DNA sequence: CATCATGAAGTTTTT
DNA sequence: CTTCATGATG
């Protein structure tokens, strides 16, 4: 393994310092993932068994990426090596030790929605004032306590410390918290935070178990360390305590997840927490042109709570950063489409090289409209893209039910679309009946292969279900008939697009929209047509495949990983852009109250503005060659035209790196 | 019990 | 201008 040709000296140091705590402060574009993957390869090369290495990431995507890169380096990915998210690794540890914590095998995991409805039930059972106890807010408080590892006996004091509610209010929250945990335990269930919290509990109460894992994970590596929460920190600390080989990589300039529990102090005080820690700074940026680096450096220098880093690049200066003032959001979109046209026509860029970044999801709408009009291909990453539209989700749910009539989740979605007089209460009854009638029926099971009886079968004879009247039963039976027809269509020899089309008609979905006739309804019909085109394309490319395959592959089609293949401009929130890079980047809506976001301004906390500034830093540093930033003078907000002020962040960019333009034209 | 009308609020997101 | 939640109505 010849490291010196592949890595710079700092990266080599990060890779080869295998013993003791190591903090790598890795600037944007400095080869952070490279250092991480080479380190794993290097450890194995040095004779460390893959069994003894644990690598923790934040997302499954990051874990996959890393596995792939390690495989490229080593020729194969050692399958005994644990690489995964904090959560998935904890699931693995927990399932090996369930009995010790008093859980049965076959536990379930509650997602946010399930947790929320549980909290709602508890609030109801406590007879608390609905006005004062919103399940969403209560769950947030519960999550906060778990994330911050607050002990149960100090909860009340902690809540009062950070909030401004009454003692009675917080006492009730504490009661809900306790009840919530009891119910989870009774249901043999964990929520997302429990996965970590219970692993910690396991380690703290069973020293022998802890010792076992400490010896297993002699080498611990953590990615994106600036976004770890207190609970994750505690877990890392426990695992690393014995062998003390903890290696963390992160960039305090890019900490943007405070709202979901990230605590920058973890990275800022790493050197204090782990004695004799070695700090290595990766400051050379390989990604961006000089002007982009210098501009982003000037911006981030305004923040206070951070390490001193001198990000530099050997790359050429490049073009100035363009800042465009647009009359309004339509003119802004017009400007962007025009620039993209120019870049593609005259500067050799492809659509694929371009990304548009915004602060909030809803900003994509005006852009989308402009892109459609100008016929520029685009793709929305995350947020409400094509597959997130209501009508597309609905039709996909119909297809899912056609393929698997026991898919309860899809069934729930379509049962009353179009209106069939079967509401949430009726469905609840049916589900409850299914749970009694079929012991293995599990609403939380997402297992598509589950062949057991489910909702569909019960709908055939709904009179058996207690509490369902004759009228409703007739409606349900009629729906069941419709579904049988839908299933018959699936069994037919029609092509996939024809089947989809037939299902749209048989279900009454199409008629519903045609009858409505409103603009949104017509828009939805258009989108469904687009979906049919998609099905046609799919069939053309895969003549032998059937509806089952199509439904299964739809998931992949909407997956982010396949993005690079298609030549489309990508649109996404700044958050979603983290870790990505593009030759050309447009940052839009850079105005006070938009970016920085209104709530961060209103909170009055300097740290909130600093997080927004880091967010802007992340956005800018995604760009390799060209960076365009735009703001509007006027914008429609909440139905009224508001006069906008350019973002304070724009004033923080050195004027000599900038070229300002004005764009008033709009379509 | 389903559906309609009215009103309030309006980030970022992974597991 | 949305979307979502809630209370009144049929």
| Across all strands, nucleotide nearest A574 (CA–C1') | B12
Strands A640-643 and A634-637 turn out to be antiparallel
Helix %, strand %, coil % of chain A (to 5): 55, 15, 30
Among the residue ranges A343-357, A415-429, A442-456, the one predicted with the least confidence is A442-456
Q: Is the pLDDT of residue A442 over 60?
A: no
A61: nearest Cα among A544, A561, A531 = A561
pLDDT of residue A439: 47
* Residue predicted with more confidence, A404 or A336: A336
Q: Which nt is closest to the CA of A382, judged by C1'?
A: B13
| Residue at minimum CA to C1' distance from nucleotide B14 | A59
Which residues of chain A (307-326) touch nucleic strand C at CB < 7 A? none
Please name the nucleotide lying closest to A639, CA to C1'. Answer: C1
Residue A362 CA and nucleotide C2 C1' are separated, in Å, by 10
Residue A562 is predicted with a pLDDT of: 44
Active site residues of A: 32-33, 223-224, 254, 622
User: Residue A419 CB closer than 7 angstroms to strand C?
Assistant: no
Confidence at residue A440, expressed as pLDDT on a 0 to 100 scale: 46
In angstroms, how far is C7 C1' from A124 CA? 18
Q: What does the pLDDT read at residue A447?
A: 35
Q: What pLDDT is recorded for position A614? A: 96
Measured CA A639 to C1' B8 distance, in angstroms: 14
d(CA A546, CA A402): 12
Mean pLDDT of chain A: 86
A262: pLDDT strictly greater than 80:
yes
Q: Which of A69-73, A234-238, A401-405 has the lowest mean pLDDT?
A: A401-405
Tell me the average pLDDT across A544-549.
Answer: 86
Residue A4: band (very low, low, confident or very high) from pLDDT cuts 50, 70, 90: confident
Q: Does the nearest atom of strand C lie within 7 Å of A102's Cβ?
A: no
pLDDT at A214 over 80: yes
Indicate whether A444 pLDDT > 70. no
Residue with the bigger pLDDT between A602 and A113: it is: A602
Can you give the pLDDT at residue A471?
A: 76
Instruction: Give me the CA A360–C1' B7 separation in Å, rounded.
Output: 24
Label the pairing between strands A623-632 and A569-573: unpaired
Question: Could you tell me the distance in Å between the CA of residue A412 and the C1' of nucleotide C7?
Answer: 24
Q: Which nucleotide lies nearest residue A422, CA to C1'?
A: B2
Is A449 a residue whose pLDDT tops 60?
A: no
Chain C bases closer than 7 angstroms to a protein Cβ: 1-3, 6-7
Distance A394 CA to B4 C1' (A): 22
Q: Higher model confidence: residue A289 or residue A550? A: A289
Residue with tokens 């935070």: A193
pLDDT digits (tens, 9 = 90+) for A130-170: 777 888 888 888 988 998 889 888 888 888 887 777 888 88
Q: Which nucleotides in chain B lie closer than 7 A to a protein CB?
A: 1-4, 9-15
Within A478-607, strands assigned E span 569-573, 582-587
Question: Any atom of strand B under 7 A from CB of A508?
Answer: no
Give A132 CA → C8 C1' in Å.
Answer: 22
Q: How confident is the model at residue A316 (pLDDT cuts 50, 70, 90)?
A: very high
A639 touches strand C (CB under 7 A): yes
Q: Using CA atoms, how far apart are residues A71 and A189, in angstroms rounded to an integer? A: 35
Q: What is the nearest nucleotide to A426, using C1' and CA?
A: B1
Q: How many Cα atoms occupy the beta-carbon half-sphere of A482 within 13 Å?
A: 23
CA A324 to chain centre: 30
Element (H, E) at A398: helix A390-403
Q: Do residues A272 and A585 lie in contact, with contact meaning Cβ atoms separated by under 8 Å?
A: no
Structure-token match 């918290």, residue found: A177
The reply to whether A636 Cβ lies less than 7 angstroms from strand C is yes
- How does residue A564 score in pLDDT terms, banded at 50, 70 and 90? low
Q: Are A611 and A258 in contact (CB under 8 A)?
A: yes
Which of A381-395, A428-442, A639-653 has the weakest average pLDDT? A428-442
Q: A345 pLDDT exceeds 90?
A: yes
CB proximity A88–strand B (7 Å threshold): yes
Q: Is the pLDDT of residue A100 over 80?
A: yes
Q: Please spell the DSSP secondary structure of A12-40, one letter per residue.
A: HHHHH--SS-EEEEE-TTS-HHHHHHHHH
Terminal C-alpha separation, chain A? 58
Residues 553-592 of A with CB under 7 A from strand B: 572-573, 575-576
- Mean pLDDT calculated for residue range A111-137: 77
What CA–CA distance (Å, rounded) separates A296 from A276? 32
- Residue by residue, DSSP assigns A327-380 as SSHHHHHHHHHHHHHHHHHHS---GGGEEEEESSGGGHHHHHHHHHHTT--EEE
Interatomic CA–C1' length for residue A421 and nucleotide B1, angstroms: 9
């Amino acid at each position: 393994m010849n490291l010196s040709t592949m890595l710079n000296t700092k990266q080599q140091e990060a890779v080869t310092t295998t013993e003791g705590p190591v903090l790598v402060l890795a600037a944007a574009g400095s080869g952070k993932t490279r250092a991480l993957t080479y380190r794993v390869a290097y450890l194995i090369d040095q004779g460390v068994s893959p069994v003894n290495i644990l690598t923790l990431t934040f997302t499954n995507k990051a874990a996959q990426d890393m596995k792939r890169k390690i495989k490229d380096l080593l020729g194969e990915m050692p399958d005994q090596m644990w690489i995964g998210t904090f959560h998935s690794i904890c699931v693995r540890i927990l399932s090996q030790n369930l009995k010790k914590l008093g859980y049965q095998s076959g536990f379930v995991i509650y997602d946010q929605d399930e947790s929320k409805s549980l909290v709602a039930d508890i609030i109801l059972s406590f007879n608390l004032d609905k006005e004062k106890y919103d399940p969403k807010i209560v769950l947030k408080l519960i999550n906060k306590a778990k994330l911050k590892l607050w002990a149960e006996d100090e909860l009340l004091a902690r809540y009062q410390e950070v909030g401004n509610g009454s003692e009675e209010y917080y006492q009730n929250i504490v009661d809900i918290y306790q009840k919530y945990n009891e119910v989870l335990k009774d249901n043999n269930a964990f929520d997302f935070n429990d996965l970590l919290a219970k692993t910690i509990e396991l380690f703290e109460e069973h020293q022998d178990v802890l010792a076992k894992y400490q010896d297993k994970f002699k080498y611990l590596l953590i990615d994106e360390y600036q976004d770890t929460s207190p609970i994750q920190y505690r877990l890392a600390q426990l695992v690393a305590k014995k062998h003390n080989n903890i290696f963390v990589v992160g960039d305090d300039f890019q900490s943007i997840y405070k709202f979901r529990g990230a605590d920058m102090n973890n990275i800022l005080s790493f050197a204090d927490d782990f004695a004799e820690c070695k700090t290595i700074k990766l400051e050379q940026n390989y990604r961006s042109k000089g002007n982009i680096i210098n501009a982003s450096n000037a911006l981030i220098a305004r923040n206070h709570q951070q390490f001193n880093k001198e990000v530099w690049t050997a790359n050429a200066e490049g073009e100035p950063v363009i800042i465009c003032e647009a009359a309004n959001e339509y003119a802004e979109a017009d400007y962007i489409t025009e620039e993209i046209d120019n870049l593609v026509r005259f500067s050799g860029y492809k659509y694929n090289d371009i990304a548009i970044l915004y602060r909030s999801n809803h900003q994509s709408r005006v852009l989308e409209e402009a892109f459609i009009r100008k016929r520029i291909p685009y793709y929305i990453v995350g947020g409400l893209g094509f597959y997130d539209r209501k009508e597309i989700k609905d039709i996909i749910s119909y297809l899912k039910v056609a393929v698997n009539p026991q898919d309860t989740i899809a069934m729930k979605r379509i049962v009353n679309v179009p209106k069939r007089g079967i509401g949430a209460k009726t469905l609840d009854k049916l589900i409850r009946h299914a749970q009694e009638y079929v012991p293995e029926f599990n609403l939380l099971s997402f297992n598509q292969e589950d062949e057991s009886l489910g909702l569909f079968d019960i709908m055939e004879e709904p009179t058996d279900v207690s509490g369902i009247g004759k009228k409703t039963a007739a409606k349900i039976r009629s729906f069941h008939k419709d579904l049988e027809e839908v299933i018959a269509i699936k069994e037919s020899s029609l092509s996939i697009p024809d089947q989809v089309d037939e299902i749209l008609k048989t279900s009454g979905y199409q008629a519903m929209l045609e009858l409505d006739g409103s603009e949104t309804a017509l828009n939805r019909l258009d989108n469904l047509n687009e979906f049919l085109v998609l099905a046609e394309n799919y069939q053309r490319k895969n003549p032998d495949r059937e509806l089952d395959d199509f439904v299964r592959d739809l998931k992949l089609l909407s997956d982010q990983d396949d993005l690079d293949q298609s030549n489309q401009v990508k649109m996404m929130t700044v958050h979603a852009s983290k870790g990505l890079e593009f030759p050309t980047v447009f940052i839009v809506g850079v105005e006070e109250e938009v970016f920085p976001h209104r709530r961060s301004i209103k909170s009055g906390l300097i740290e909130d503005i600093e997080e927004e500034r880091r967010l802007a830093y992340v956005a800018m540093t995604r760009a390799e060659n060209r960076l365009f930033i735009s703001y509007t003078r006027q914008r429609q907000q909440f139905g009224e035209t508001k006069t906008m002020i350019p973002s304070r962040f724009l004033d923080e960019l050195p004027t000599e790196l900038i070229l300002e333009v004005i764009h008033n034209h709009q379509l």
